[in-house]
C-alpha cells in the first residue's frame, strides 16, 4: 500500500471514529446486539403472552432507535455548521491568490492563442501551395479528357503537350512523383489513342475510296444498260417493218439477246450489291473500333481517378473507423449517461455507414 493510500485509510478510520463518538448514546454496540437478539426466538404469536412479549419488545427497541436517531441529528447539525464555516474560510483564503492566478492564466492563454493563429496562417499558406501544385497535376490529367471523336491532329497536339510538360522537383516539390505519374499516364493513354485514330482514319479513307469506285462502276453499268436498251429499241423498230416471218425470227433472236443482256445485268447488279454490303461492313467495324477505343479511354481515366483518390479515401476510411469506436465519458448522472450513450451510438453508426459507401465513390 502506497503512502497516499495509507494516509487516506487513516483519515477514513478517523472519520468513522469521530462519527462513533458523536453518536455516543446510553447503550453500547454490544448492548444493542443483545437487545436485537433477545427476541430472535419469537417467530410466531401463539397466545396472549407471546403477543405482549412482541408488543413490549417492539416498544423497547423503538425507544432505543429514536434515541439513536436524535443523537445522529444533533451530530449532523454540528457537522453542517462546521462545514459552512470551513467553506467561508476556504473562499476567504482563495480570494487572496485567485486574481493573480487568473491574470497568469490570461497571459498564458494570449500566448497560446498567438501561437495558434501563427500555426493556422502557416497551415493556410501550406495548403495554398499544395493546392496550386495539385491544379497543375490536374491539368496534366485533364489532357486525357474530352477525346471522344477527336481527330488524329487533336490527339497529336495533346500528346505533344503532355510530352512537353517539364516535371521538376523545384516546381512540384513533394508532389514531383505524382506529377511524373500523371504525365506518364497521359502519355501512355494518348499514344495508343493516336495510333488507333490514325488506323481508323486510314480505314475510313479506304472505305470512301471503295464507295467512290462503286459509284463509278454503277454509273458505267447504268450507261451500258441505257446503250443496250437504245440498241434493242432501234432493232425492234427495224424488225417491225419486215415480213411476219422475218419479224418472228428476228424477235426470237432479240429474245435470246435480251436474256443474255439481262443475265449480264443481273450479274453486275449482284456485284454492286456485294460491294455495297462490303462498304457497310467496313463502316460498321470502324464504328465498333471507335467505340472500343473510347471504352478503353474511359476505363483508363477511371482507373487513374481511383488511383489518385485512394489516399483521400484511406484518410476518410481511417476517420470513419475512429468514429466506430468512440466511447462516451464515464458520468454518474443516469440522464446524462443515457444521452451520452445515445450520442455515442449515433456517431458509431455514422462511422459504419460511411465505411459502407466509401468504396462506391
Cα-to-chain-centroid distance, residue 182: 23
Which single residue is written with the C-alpha cell 419488545?
Answer: 57
Which single residue is written with the C-alpha cell 462546521?
Answer: 82
- Which are the contacts of 356, defined by CB distance < 8 A and separation ≥ 6? none
154 and 223 co-located in one domain: yes
pTM: 0.33
What Å distances lie between residue 259 and 11, 228, 311, CA to CA? 134, 12, 79
Mean pLDDT on 297-320: 77
Look up the domain containing 84 and give its range. Answer: 3-107
87 and 15 co-located in one domain: yes
Per the domain annotation, does 120 fall within a domain? no
Contact between 314 and 355 under an 8 Å Cβ cutoff? The reply is no
- How far is 116 from 110, CA to CA, in rounded Å? 10
- Helix, coil or strand: residue 239: helix
Domain boundary among 56, 90, 107: 107
> What average pLDDT is seen over the chain?
80
Q: Which of 208, 230, 357 is nearest to 286 (CA)?
A: 208
Per the domain annotation, does 348 fall within a domain? no
- How far is 43 from 59, CA to CA, in rounded Å? 17
Per the domain annotation, does 221 fall within a domain? yes
Contact between 23 and 68 under an 8 Å Cβ cutoff? The reply is yes
pLDDT tens digit string along 43-102?
A: 888 888 888 888 888 898 888 888 888 888 887 887 788 888 888 888 888 888 888 788
153 and 40 co-located in one domain: no
Contact between 193 and 293 under an 8 Å Cβ cutoff? The reply is yes
Count of domains observed in the chain: 2
316 and 267 co-located in one domain: yes
Per the domain annotation, does 115 fall within a domain? no
Task: Give the pLDDT confidence score for residue 25 in this predicted structure.
Answer: 58
Domain boundary among 107, 130, 162: 107
Which single residue is written with the C-alpha cell 497536339?
Answer: 157
300 and 159 co-located in one domain: yes
158 and 302 co-located in one domain: yes
Amino acid at each position: 500500500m502506497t503512502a497516499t493510500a495509507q494516509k487516506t485509510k487513516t483519515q477514513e478510520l478517523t472519520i468513522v471514529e469521530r462519527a462513533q463518538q458523536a453518536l455516543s448514546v446510553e447503550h453500547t454496540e454490544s448492548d444493542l446486539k443483545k437487545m436485537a437478539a433477545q427476541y430472535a426466538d419469537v417467530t410466531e404469536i401463539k397466545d396472549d403472552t407471546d403477543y405482549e412479549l412482541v408488543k413490549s419488545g417492539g416498544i423497547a427497541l423503538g425507544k432505543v432507535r429514536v434515541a439513536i436517531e436524535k443523537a445522529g441529528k444533533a451530530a449532523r447539525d454540528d457537522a453542517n455548521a462546521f462545514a459552512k464555516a470551513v467553506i467561508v474560510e476556504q473562499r476567504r483564503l482563495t480570494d487572496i491568490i485567485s486574481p493573480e492566478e487568473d491574470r497568469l492564466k490570461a497571459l498564458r492563454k494570449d500566448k497560446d492563442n498567438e501561437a495558434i493563429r501563427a500555426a493556422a496562417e502557416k497551415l493556410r499558406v501550406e495548403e495554398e501551395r499544395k493546392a496550386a501544385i495539385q491544379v497543375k497535376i490536374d491539368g496534366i490529367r485533364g489532357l486525357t479528357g474530352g477525346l471522344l471523336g477527336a481527330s488524329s491532329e487533336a490527339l497529336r497536339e495533346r500528346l505533344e503537350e503532355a510530352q512537353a510538360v517539364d516535371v521538376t522537383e523545384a516546381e512540384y516539390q513533394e508532389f514531383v512523383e505524382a506529377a511524373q505519374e500523371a504525365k506518364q499516364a497521359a502519355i501512355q493513354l494518348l499514344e495508343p489513342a493516336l495510333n488507333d485514330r490514325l488506323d481508323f482514319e486510314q480505314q475510313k479513307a479506304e472505305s470512301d475510296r471503295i464507295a467512290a469506285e462503286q459509284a463509278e462502276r454503277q454509273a458505267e453499268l447504268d450507261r451500258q444498260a441505257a446503250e443496250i436498251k437504245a440498241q434493242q429499241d432501234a432493232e425492234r423498230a427495224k424488225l417491225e417493218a419486215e415480213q411476219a416471218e422475218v419479224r418472228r425470227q428476228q424477235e426470237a433472236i432479240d429474245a435470246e439477246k435480251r436474256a443474255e443482256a439481262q443475265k449480264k445485268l443481273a450479274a453486275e447488279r449482284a456485284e454492286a450489291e456485294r460491294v455495297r454490303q462490303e462498304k457497310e461492313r467496313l463502316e460498321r467495324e470502324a464504328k465498333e473500333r471507335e467505340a472500343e477505343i473510347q471504352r478503353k479511354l474511359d476505363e483508363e481515366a477511371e482507373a487513374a481517378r481511383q488511383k489518385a483518390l485512394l489516399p483521400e479515401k484511406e484518410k476518410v476510411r481511417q476517420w470513419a473507423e475512429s468514429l466506430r469506436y468512440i466511447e462516451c465519458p464515464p458520468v454518474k448522472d443516469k440522464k446524462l449517461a443515457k444521452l451520452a450513450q445515445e450520442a455515442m451510438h449515433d456517431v458509431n453508426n455514422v462511422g459504419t455507414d460511411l465505411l459502407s459507401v466509401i468504396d462506391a465513390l
